[in-house]
Amino acid sequence: MEQDWKQSRGSFFTAFAPPAFWLTLFFLVPLAIIWAYSFGKNISMTEVAVTGTLSNYARIADPVYISIFVKSIVYAALTTFLCLIVGFPVALAITFAPDKAKAWLLLLIMLPFWTNLLVRTYALMAVLRTEGYVNTVLGWIGIGPLPLLHNNFAVVLGLVYVNLPFLVLPLYSALDRLDRSLLEASLDLGAGHIRTIREIVIPLALPGILSGLLITFIPALGSYLTPDLLGGPDSQMIASVIERNFKRANDWPFGSALSFILMYLTFFAIAAQTLVAARRRKAGGEA
């Protein structure tokens, strides 16, 4: 007979205390310090005085920073959309693949996580540069060389390349839980494959699709390494501005404010996804 956790609180808190302590000490406390710095100002090269000022947040209203925020959101949204276009057929193919092939396909999707992001980015640079593999192949057919690196195209391509597995895996998880009998019934009743996907698969898998979109959008919005290495002067995203304020300008208060604006946007995206999911559950319950 299983024991209720309320009847064994000692064991529960013994198991819970170490990770909670670790999370508090190495995540919540540093996060709280950065949040406090966002309401401060520099008093020397190494000291920040927390004064409660909102001037750092007011600076973000500058059109320069607003444009960078908007550009970052557009890049992240475009990346998420392209990942969905590419990732949905891939996840669908993995779902209906034979069991042996499914294991290998999932391994190929997860394989990039075993390689450092910096290594993968430099590998992509080798592919896209003027003397790279793509331009070499294009040269054989009399095209190019094309400017494939250090521009907005390279940034979006790099973000899709890096974040695609974050969308494929949640999509596969959602699609794999579908009731196959509903798909068979749809096909038996005369609906084609496209209509079955549109009217059966997508509505049933929508919670997983929304979760995958959120999981892809958030890291794409805060990407630093990919736009820094693949982009040009007009391709910087907000994470690059945050890095510059912390490391080069030594303006930790303003960098902290930018970081938390990014975090507030993340919280807003999570809240919106949660609200949509709650409304779907409520609508399903009423039906």
- In terms of phi and psi (left: phi > 0; alpha: psi -120 to 50; beta: otherwise), the region of 142 is left
What is the Cα–Cα distance from 163 to 236, expressed in whole angstroms? 18
> Which tokens sit at 141?
């057919």
Residue 104 has pLDDT above 50, yes or no: yes
User: What pLDDT is attached to residue 180?
Assistant: 78
Task: Look at residue 236 and give its three-state secondary structure.
Answer: coil
Share of residues in the chain with pLDDT > 70 (%): 95
The rounded Cα 287 to chain-centroid distance in angstroms is 33
Is the sign of the CA dihedral 87, 92, 97, 100 positive or negative?
positive
Give the model confidence (pLDDT) of 188-242 as tens digits.
Answer: 788 787 888 888 888 888 888 888 898 899 889 988 889 988 987 788 888 889 9
- In terms of phi and psi (left: phi > 0; alpha: psi -120 to 50; beta: otherwise), the region of 190 is left
pLDDT band at 80 (very low <50, low <70, confident <90, very high): very high
Residue 286 has pLDDT above 90, yes or no: no
Q: Average the pLDDT over 113-117 and give the result.
A: 86
Q: Average the pLDDT over 86-106 and give the result.
A: 89
Q: Average the pLDDT over 236-257 and give the result.
A: 88
Q: Domains along the chain? A: 62-286 (1.10.3720.10)
Q: What is the chain's mean pLDDT, rounded?
A: 85
Residue 2 has pLDDT above 60, yes or no: no
What is the Cα–Cα distance from 98 to 172, expressed in whole angstroms? 14
Residue 86 has pLDDT above 90, yes or no: yes
Cβ–Cβ under 8 Å, residues 234 and 29: no
Residue 1 has pLDDT above 50, yes or no: no
What is the Cα–Cα distance from 214 to 121, expressed in whole angstroms? 23
- How many CB atoms are located within 10 Å of the residue 237 CB? 26
User: What pLDDT is attached to residue 74?
Assistant: 93
pLDDT band at 97 (very low <50, low <70, confident <90, very high): confident
Contacts 24+ apart (CB under 8 A), 80-84: 80/163, 80/167, 80/213, 80/216, 80/217, 80/220, 82/156, 82/160, 83/160, 83/163, 83/164, 83/166, 83/167, 83/168, 83/216, 84/167, 84/209, 84/212, 84/213, 84/216
Cβ–Cβ under 8 Å, residues 127 and 134: yes
Residue 284 has pLDDT above 90, yes or no: no
> Which tokens sit at 130?
């003027």
Compute the 3-state secondary structure of the chain and give helix, strand, coil in percent, each to the nearest 5: 75, 0, 20
Q: How far is CA 223 from CA 83, 98, 156, 216, 238, in A?
A: 15, 36, 11, 11, 8
- How many CB atoms are located within 10 Å of the residue 48 CB? 19
What is the Cα–Cα distance from 147 to 153, expressed in whole angstroms? 9
Residue 53 has pLDDT above 50, yes or no: yes
User: What pLDDT is attached to residue 191?
Assistant: 79
Cβ–Cβ under 8 Å, residues 121 and 226: yes
Range among 3-7, 9-13, 253-257 with highest mean pLDDT value: 253-257
What is the Cα–Cα distance from 255 to 246, expressed in whole angstroms? 6
pTM: 0.84
Residue 76 has pLDDT above 90, yes or no: yes
> Which tokens sit at 144?
């190019």
- The DSSP output letter for 43 is S
Q: Which residue in the block uniquely carries the two structure tokens 């331009």?
A: 135
Residue 145 has pLDDT above 90, yes or no: no
Is the sign of the CA dihedral 209, 211, 214, 219 positive or negative?
negative
Residue 64 has pLDDT above 50, yes or no: yes
